[in-house]
Amino acid sequence: MANQSKAPIYIAFSWILWPALFAVGLTGAGLAFRTSAPLLWFNVVYLTIVAAIAFLERVMPYEQQWLHRDGETLNDIAHTLLNKGGVQIVAAIGASAPIAIATVARPIFSSPAHVWPDAWPIGLQVVMGLIVAELGLYIAHRAAHETLSLWRFHALHHSVERLWVVNTGRFHLVDSVVKIGLSQLPLYLLGAPLPVFLWIGAVTAFIGLLTHCNIDVRTRPLDLIFSTPRLHRWHHSRVLAEGNTNYGENLVLWDQIFGTYFNPDRRPPADIGISGRIADGFLAQLLQPFSASGFRQILGRKADVDSLPPPKLGRQRQD
Ligand SMILES: [Zn+2]
Ligand SMILES: [Zn+2]
């Protein structure tokens, strides 16, 4: 809200919170990885950060209207659990599936060309891994916005009308599988070691939580490097020119390179969503993209669309 009316301590917190939450999350992940039950402890850290963000959203919200209930909370949680916890059925508590998949799949794939710089310090290897993975994430995310066959799955994520920590993981299962596949496969092929996968999973988990947070954080210089809440709020705009930007999941390097980086000096819109309609209920939402009528609903087209002139695809796909 208006910066001028805020107390200095509030302003200070709004600058510190994003890097602090990210750093605490990564430190916690580092400690968790050293225990004999890394996934369990990672989930404890993850849920602690979720709780901290949920508390801060109440104390210093960015958009007051995003505090109101939208009736989607249970669906949001169900999609999150299915996507990110599906692999660990019992400990299905968000964000750890990429780590679990990497733990299981990494030994199965033997690298055909061992080109990964194992000798580099682990921090540098993780940065390189993030850049490689991010290219796959960028391609998957941009394709999801620019092709109807993929938008039908990604629209679920953009159907939210409020951004908050709980709908961070609201992705259709197909959307997630495409993203995980395109981001992790190159790392397997290059022969990246398991710790790189674990750290990428941790970075993705915490940056992901923060991108949707409804906390009044200030991230100006960090916006140039990371996918921050400010950039992601633009990404959820209903206006096509604003929403089809900032595809980066962790880093915005590829947005910068391919010209889709967008961060004008004004406030991102509070009115977010899509022009189509998403089904009510978790199962209906999962099945909706697979039927012709469901697809038409997602696009916001009328039932007799086949007899109409071609739709304005840009408007249909905007977010
Ligand atoms: Zn998107
Ligand atoms: Zn989002």
Q: How is the chain split into domains, by residue range?
A: 3-317
Ligand 1: centre distance to CA 227 (Å): 12
Ligand 1: centre distance to CA 112 (Å): 33
Ligand 1: centre distance to CA 181 (Å): 17
Q: Which stretches of the chain drop beneath a pLDDT of 50?
A: 1-2, 87-95, 304-319
Ligand 1: centre distance to CA 236 (Å): 7
Report which bound ligand comes closest to the CA of 246.
Answer: 1
The HSE-up count of residue 126 (CA atoms within 13 Å, CB side) is: 16
- Residues sharing a CB contact under 8 Å with residue 94, sequence separation 6 or more, in sequence order: 43, 46, 47, 50, 80, 81, 84, 85, 169, 205
**Cβ-based burial of 86 (10 A; exposed 0-12, middle 13-18, buried ≥19):** middle
Report which bound ligand comes closest to the CA of 213.
Answer: 2
CA distances to 1, 40, 47, 85, 229 from 79, rounded to whole Å, are 31, 20, 16, 10, 21
* Alpha helices for 60-96 (secondary structure H): 73-85
Ligand 2: centre distance to CA 162 (Å): 10
Report which bound ligand comes closest to the CA of 144.
Answer: 1
Ligand 2: centre distance to CA 164 (Å): 9
Residue 91's pLDDT is: 34
Ligand 2: centre distance to CA 128 (Å): 24
Ligand 2: centre distance to CA 233 (Å): 8
pLDDT tens-digit readout, 175-209: 988 888 898 889 888 888 888 988 998 999 999 99
Report which bound ligand comes closest to the CA of 175.
Answer: 1
The answer to whether 217 and 62 have CB atoms below 8 angstroms apart is: yes
pTM of the model: 0.86
Residue 83's pLDDT is: 80
Ligand 2: centre distance to CA 309 (Å): 31
Give me 12's structure tokens. Answer: 């200070």
Ligand 2: centre distance to CA 111 (Å): 33
- Residues sharing a CB contact under 8 Å with residue 234, sequence separation 6 or more, in sequence order: 242, 243, 245, 246, 262, 263, 268
CA angle (246, 75, 172) in 5-degree steps: 50
The answer to whether 130 and 252 have CB atoms below 8 angstroms apart is: no
**Cβ-based burial of 174 (10 A; exposed 0-12, middle 13-18, buried ≥19):** middle
pLDDT tens-digit readout, 150-181: 999 999 999 999 999 999 999 999 998 888 88
Residue 262's pLDDT is: 97
Q: Tokens 């990404």 map to which residue? A: 235
Report which bound ligand comes closest to the CA of 272.
Answer: 2
Ligand 2: centre distance to CA 58 (Å): 20
Residue 113's pLDDT is: 59
Residue 193's pLDDT is: 87
One-letter-per-residue 3-state SS of 203-241: HHHHHHHHHCCCECCCCCCHHHCECCHHHHHHHCECCHH
Residue 98's pLDDT is: 60
Ligand 2: centre distance to CA 113 (Å): 35
- Residues sharing a CB contact under 8 Å with residue 215, sequence separation 6 or more, in sequence order: 14, 17, 53, 56, 57, 60, 61, 62, 229
Residue 92's pLDDT is: 36
Ligand 2: centre distance to CA 249 (Å): 9
